[in-house]
Amino acid sequence: MDIKENLDIIRKNIEDACAACGKETGGVKLIAVSKTKPVPMLEEAYACGCRDFGENKVQELVDKYEVMPKDIRWHMIGHLQRNKVKYIVDKVFMIHSVDSLRLAQEIEKEAAKKDVNVNILVEVNVAGEESKFGATSEEAATLVEEIAKLPHISVRGLMTIAPYVEDSEENRRYFAKLKQIYVDIIHKNIDNVFMEELSMGMTGDYEVAITEGATYVRVGTGIFGEREYAVI
């Protein structure tokens, strides 16, 4: 497992995917998804230039935040419970997984207390999978509109987690659908909404996601190797 080698390959793939659809490489940002991985591995990725890291658990994000360099942009990409919002509002660069007005209201409350502004993405369950969180495709625009009224939150775009598939082409339609919802929201010209980010694509399908308009790709296994989950 060589993190540097993996990153070289992924960065090259991103470049190629951008070239294939006439996009500038800089328009796609790579988030190193470091959940379950130990700090030395994050430090290795950091040494290779990674500054965007993604975590899906509040405690783990906070622990790593404390010990890693301060110029890292931390992305909360996992389901967020309202009672844990207070631990991360002043530490994260962006929360990708906002899926309800109640959660957004809690973020607003804690952000106001700490006098910070929080960048968020609205998570959309475009594939309609029962096991996944996220607003429905139909709800997404209304949810964005409601959240945009909260003064300490900036809505920056949309996020989706596509189904696990063998053939990444199967997910193309979901990425295209998220892009369509995003464009429809842009056309609504909602105050305090800055639609500029589409967070979609993981190790198995980030190249397809890029050709459908991703601006953030979230890659874990491809950089750090398979995750081992302790059996408790």
Ligand X SMILES: *Cc1c(COP(=O)(O)O)cnc(C)c1O
Distance, in Å, from the CA atom of 53 to the CA atom of 75, rounded to the nearest integer, reads 6
Looking at 13-21, 110-118, 150-158, 219-227, which segment touches ligand X (CB under 6 A)?
Answer: 219-227
Residue 33 in contact with ligand X, rule: CB under 6 A: yes
Residues 59, 81, 192, 221: which binds ligand X (CB under 6 A)?
Answer: 221
Residue 15 CA to residue 109 CA, distance in Å, equals 40
CA 21/CA 23 separation, integer angstroms: 6
CA-derived radius of gyration, the chain: 17
- Contact (CB, 8 A) for 17 and 207: yes
Q: Which region among 66-74, 82-90, 132-140, 201-209 touches ligand X (by CB under 6 A)?
A: 201-209
3 state SS of 11:
helix
Give min distance, CB of 123 to ligand X, in A. Answer: 9
Choice between 195 and 200, CB closer to ligand X:
200
Dist CA 111 CA 127 (whole Å): 31
Residues that bind ligand X (rule: CB under 6 A) add up to a total of 14
The mark string for 111-150 relative to ligand X (x by CB under 6 A, - otherwise) is ----------------------------------------
CB of 223 to ligand X, least distance (A): 8
**Minimum distance, C-beta of residue 216 to ligand X, in the bound complex (Å):** 10
Segment near ligand X (CB under 6 A); pick from 41-49, 87-95, 147-155, 213-221: 213-221
Q: Is 30 in the site for ligand X (CB under 6 A)?
A: no
- DSSP characters for 87-139? HHTTT-SEEEEE--HHHHHHHHHHHHHHT--EEEEEEB-TT--TTS-SB-TTT
Nearer to ligand X, 30 or 148 (CB): 30
Measured distance CA(215)–CA(197) in Å, rounded: 6
* Contact positions vs ligand X (CB under 6 A): 33, 35, 56, 77-78, 161, 202-204, 218-222
